[in-house]
Amino acid sequence: MWKWLTNKIGYLVRAAALLLCVLSGVVDAEEAQPWIMVDSRQQTLTVFAGQDKVLKHFPYVALGRGGVAGDRHRGDRTTPLGTFHVAWINPNSRFGIFFGLDFPSVENADRAYRDNLIDSDTYRTILDAVIERRIPPQDTPLGGQIGIHGLGGRDPRLHRGFNWTDGCIALTDAQIRSLARLVRIGTKVLII
Over 78-136, what HEC string results?
CEECEEEEEEEEEEEECCEEEEEECCCCHHHHHHHHHCCCCCHHHHHHHHHHHHCCCCC
Which stretch of 116-125, 152-161, 166-175, 183-192 has the lowest confidence by average pLDDT? Answer: 152-161
**Confidence band (pLDDT; 50, 70, 90) for 30?**
low
CA distances to 25, 40, 113, 156 from 22, in Å: 6, 26, 22, 40
The pLDDT of residue 8 is 54
Instruction: Check residues 11 and 182 and name the one with the higher pLDDT.
Output: 182
CB count, 10 Å around CB of 99? Answer: 27
Model confidence pLDDT, tens digit, residues 139-177 = 999 999 999 999 988 888 878 888 999 999 999 999 999
Model confidence pLDDT, tens digit, residues 58-111 = 999 999 999 999 888 899 999 999 999 999 999 999 999 999 999 999 999 999
The residues, ordered by sequence, that sit 6+ positions from 118 with a Cβ below 8 Å of its Cβ are 109, 112, 126, 140, 141, 142
Distance CA 56, CA 79 (A): 22
**Confidence band (pLDDT; 50, 70, 90) for 9?**
low
Query: For the chain, how big is the Rg over CA atoms in Å?
Result: 17
The pLDDT of residue 25 is 47
**Confidence band (pLDDT; 50, 70, 90) for 4?**
very low
CATH architecture of the domain 2-191 equals: Beta Barrel (2.40)
The pLDDT of residue 158 is 79
CA distances to 23, 104, 141 from 191, in Å: 22, 13, 21
Residue 182 has pLDDT above 80, yes or no: yes
Instruction: Check residues 28 and 153 and name the one with the higher pLDDT.
Output: 153
